[in-house]
Structure 1
Amino acid sequence: MEGDCLRCTRYVMFIFNLFIFVGGSFLLGLGAWVLLDPPGFREVVTSNPLLFMCSYALLPLGAVFFLLGFLGCCGAIRENKCLLLVFLTLILFIFLAELAAAILAFLFREHLTREYFTQELKRHYQGHNDTDIFTFTWNAIMTIFDCCGVSGPEDFEQSLFRLLSPHKTVPEACCRRRGYHGDMEYINMEECVSGTAAFRHNEGCYSAMLDFLQTYIYTAGALAVVVLTTELFAMVSAMCLFRGMQ
């Protein structure tokens, strides 16, 4: 009976990780295809912020799933304790990292206010500077969500950006544009940066991102539950098989 249970656990874990391996391979291939920038792809993706963010997460996610699926399949079918131990360690590390991220988000939720982001934007945003990670991130956010500043364009008043670029009222990332990301055509960038409201985005990124998150909050919650359940199942299966091979 014990041998039958061990054999059943081994095949269940193999089939389960085979799906993960195939899914990881598909995501890896899709991520490589995205990096090649097929014609017209970015025009479709940048019309939806969710698609834009997910498209560039395909390659790392695919690599992680590919590795986990490979370790799980080989460890289960060959009854290799070393591979199973590596698989279990990786799953546990990912689970603990997700748990730590959730705890940190809960502990620092009071600091993630509109006033905090506005203060940080005034202090550190430099304008068109891709070497500064803070500036690069804000430029990406304002480009993806078609927004400007935290509450609006007025956030750039009395800021580091205005000190560095006194002839501009808002950065180029706030300007309205046509086309697609990476090859954008601004409607009238000169009028935009000089202060003409008709050629810039006037909605703040804080409100734009909240609206976006509220739209997909139930989907994100359901996905988080599925991922955590899958990770727990994988850890329990790996531990049972590992103990059975002792």
Structure 2
Amino acid sequence: MTMGKGCMTASKYFLFFFNLIFFLFGAVIVGFGFWILLDNQTFIVALKNSTDVKLACYILIGVGAFPILISFFGCLGAIYEVRSLLSLYFSVILLILITQFAAGALIYFQKDVVNEQISKVITKVLDKYSGNSSITEQAWDFIQTNMECCGWIDRTDWSGNMVIVNSSQLLFPCSCQNISLISGNFSDSGFCEAKTPDWPVYDVGCAASVERWLLTNIGVVLGICLGVTLLELLGMILSICLCRNVHMEDYTKVPKY
């Protein structure tokens, strides 16, 4: 079954605009990867010293650059009706879709391993916390204060902190303190002195707070994932329809520079 000229034209431009969206999507991913690497303001800083996190950023940039390149070929194949480019485009989008499902399944079934690796990274950060208000320490204070949590798993993550271990006083991280258990002025950084060995801090760890945030916003996360998947499927359908209705390669349409 072949499409009429009007349908062909409409499909070409639909595919072109789809690839424009795909290009922007890739650009956002690349920008996010660079933002994590260059960010010195937010809680992301707390994880940046990890080699694994830096590697993940480079992978993220690479993954984002890939759609940018593919969308270029998709636009070229659609506008100039180059069948080989449309076939290549369809194959690559299919591969990306399969990879996304495989990566999602891997993360889901290996979530305990991922959580363990994050816990190790954060434990090293907490052990070296000195209260000198470095960028990394400010980021971690920001997390604990705003998420009302203490440590990654729980307060015992602070048990290896060198300042607390070597101090003759009963110190605890100020950003952990439960404001409902204290009165008067309080600090949200550095160390505070406890009156008893039972720290007046939050019982919940930040891992639980992050998980709770994800569950609260699960609809948004799933909506974004579903939207991206539908866009990819639309691109595949349009490209294969165009490919089947382009009967001859005409490379003379492609501009020469």
- TM bin, normalised by shorter chain, reads 0.5 to 0.7
Which residue of structure 2 aligns with residue 240 of structure 1? 241
Structure 1 residue runs of 5 or longer lacking an equivalent are 48-55, 131-137, 177-185
Cα distance in 1 for residues equivalent to 2:120 and 2:34: 38
The CA deviation at 1:65 is 4.5
Runs of 4 or more consecutive aligned structure 1 residues displaced over 6 Å after TM superposition: 35-38, 138-141, 168-176
CA 1:98–1:190 in structure 2 vs 1: closer, same or farther (change >3 Å)? same
Distance 1:73 1:129, change over 3 A: farther
* Farther-moved stretch of structure 1 (213-222 vs 87-96): 87-96
CA contact (8 A) 2:30 2:65 kept: no
Which whole-Å CA distance do the structure 1 matches of 2:29 and 2:157 have between them? 40
The offset of 1:101, in angstroms, is 2.2
Partner of 1:11: 13
2:153 paired with 1:151? yes
Higher relative contact order (CA 8 A, sep 6+): 2
**Who wins on radius of gyration, i.e. which is larger?**
2
1:126 aligns with 2:128: no
Contact 1:9 1:241 survives alignment (8 Å): yes
- d(CA) in 2 for partners of 1:29, 1:106: 24
Q: Which residue of 2 is the match for residue 227 of structure 1?
A: 228
Deviations 1:39-76 (A, max 9, x none): xx94xx669xxxxxxxx89x837644533432221111
Render the CA deviation track for 1:179-237: whole Å, top value 9, x for unaligned. xxxxxxx8552448xx8946x77530221112211221111111111111111111122
Unpaired runs of at least 5, structure 2:
45-56, 129-135, 178-186, 248-257
Are the equivalent residues in 1 in contact too, given 2:141–2:188 (CA < 8 A)? no
Corresponding residue pairs, total: 206
Q: How does 1:78-117 map to 2 (within 5 A)?
A: 78-108=80-110, 111=112, 117=116
Deviations 1:115-147 (A, max 9, x none): x84x984799434799xxxxxxx9899566324
Instruction: Report the TM-score, using the length of structure 2 for normalisation.
Output: 0.56
Match of 1:180 in 2: none
After TM superposition, list the pairs within 5 Å mapping 1:44-83 onto structure 2.
60=61, 63-83=65-85
| TM-score normalised by structure 1 residue count | 0.57
| Pairwise CA distance, 1:245 | 2.6
* 2:151–2:157 contact (8 Å) kept in structure 1: yes
Per-residue CA deviation, residues 6-39 of structure 1 (Å, 9 max, x unaligned), is 44432321232234335656x489669958979x
Task: Kindly provide the amino acid, as one letter, of the partner of residue 2 in structure 2.
Answer: E
Letter in 2 for 1:167: N
**SS in structure 2 at match of 1:2:** coil
